[in-house]
Amino acid sequence: MYTAYTVDDDYLMLEEMKDFVPWQEHGFELIGSATDPLTALDEVTDLKPDVIFVDLKLPRIDGNKFIEKVHELGMNPVFVMVSGYDDFEGVRTFFKQNGFDYILKPIDSEDIGIVLRKIHSKLSANDYIDDETTDNPIFNRLILYVKDNYTNNISLDDLSKEFGYNRNYICNMFSKYLNTSFSKYVTKLRMEKAVDLLNDNLLMKKEIANKLGYKDYYHFYKVFKEYFGYAPGKHNSN
């Protein structure tokens, strides 16, 4: 079961989310909440929730600043913004920080159920990847971005544009913290996911290749065989 935390300056809103959101039905446990974002920062540092629902308009620091500070602490939970304001700039900033979803108040139980199912699928898909949190919050955010986009033909130029660092600096971080290159790391993620999909035996191999971001099955076949030493078709017999 995954863990969730809520931050909202409206106490009644927190009580509503506690009492009326079907957390357990969707595989979550609500482990804490706070009306003050600075108190919330202290608590999430200790609790390390998998997902945080945070209000956009908060006292002292707003929701986006709260997310920024959580990232600075080296944590990368899934964030869902909850707000009574249809604030375009606030939402834009939220998604630039890799925010996952945005819900307008008053909260609809069906809408939040859909969001929880999406989050559960995302977290479940990432469970097969080892924990690679480092003492560098910038690199932690970069790794999270790669994990979310490795099937989309992501490149060093994409990372450079997204994070504002040059290619050499990004390459050096991969070498320093993971003892590998960016391309080898992406291949690792794809091959681990390939094994997961092959074990499920629900997709054709060409569909798996496409799902992992390879332009054709032959390319996937070549990379897989070089990585594991045998062809994808031989996987379940190994």
User: Which of 59-68's residues contact partners 24+ apart within 8 Å by CB, and which partners?
Assistant: 59/9, 60/36, 61/37, 62/90, 63/7, 63/37, 63/90, 63/94, 64/90, 64/93, 64/94, 64/97, 65/37, 66/7, 66/37, 66/40, 66/41, 67/94, 67/97, 67/99, 68/97
Residues in the chain: 238
Q: In the chain, what are the domain boundaries?
A: 2-126, 137-237
Contact between 7 and 66 under an 8 Å Cβ cutoff? The reply is: yes
Q: What is the pLDDT of residues 47-104, one digit of tens each?
A: 999 999 999 989 989 999 999 999 888 888 999 998 877 666 777 788 777 788 888 8
pTM reported for the whole predicted model: 0.55
Q: With left for phi above 0 and alpha for psi between -120 and 50, is residue 96 left, alpha or beta? A: alpha
- Closest by alpha carbon to 80, among 131, 26, 127? 26
Lowest mean pLDDT among 17-21, 39-43, 107-111, 115-119: 107-111
**In terms of CATH architecture, what is 137-237?**
Orthogonal Bundle (1.10)
CATH assignment of 2-126, given 3.40.50.2300, 3.30.2020.10, 3.90.1150.10, 3.50.30.30? 3.40.50.2300
Q: How confident is the model at residue 130 (pLDDT cuts 50, 70, 90)?
A: very low
- pLDDT of 129 higher than 80: no
Q: How far apart are CA 214 and CA 225, in angstroms?
A: 14
Q: Tell me what pLDDT residue 126 has.
A: 57
Q: Kindly state the tokens that stand for 150.
A: 């490795």
DSSP string, the chain: -EEEEEE-S-HHHHHHHHHHS-TGGGTEEEEEEESSHHHHHHHHHHH--SEEEEESS-SSS-HHHHHHHHHHTT---EEEEEESS--HHHHHHHHHTT--EEEESSPPHHHHHHHHHHHHHHHHHHTTSPP---S-HHHHHHHHHHHHHTTTT--HHHHHHHH---HHHHHHHHHHHHSS-HHHHHHHHHHHHHHHHHHHT-S-HHHHHHHTT-SSHHHHHHHHHHHHSS-GGGGGG-
Q: What is the pLDDT of residues 7-36, one digit of tens each?
A: 999 999 999 999 889 898 888 999 999 999
Contact between 79 and 29 under an 8 Å Cβ cutoff? The reply is: no
| Average pLDDT over every residue of 190-208 | 88
Q: How far apart are CA 82 and CA 7, in angstroms?
A: 9
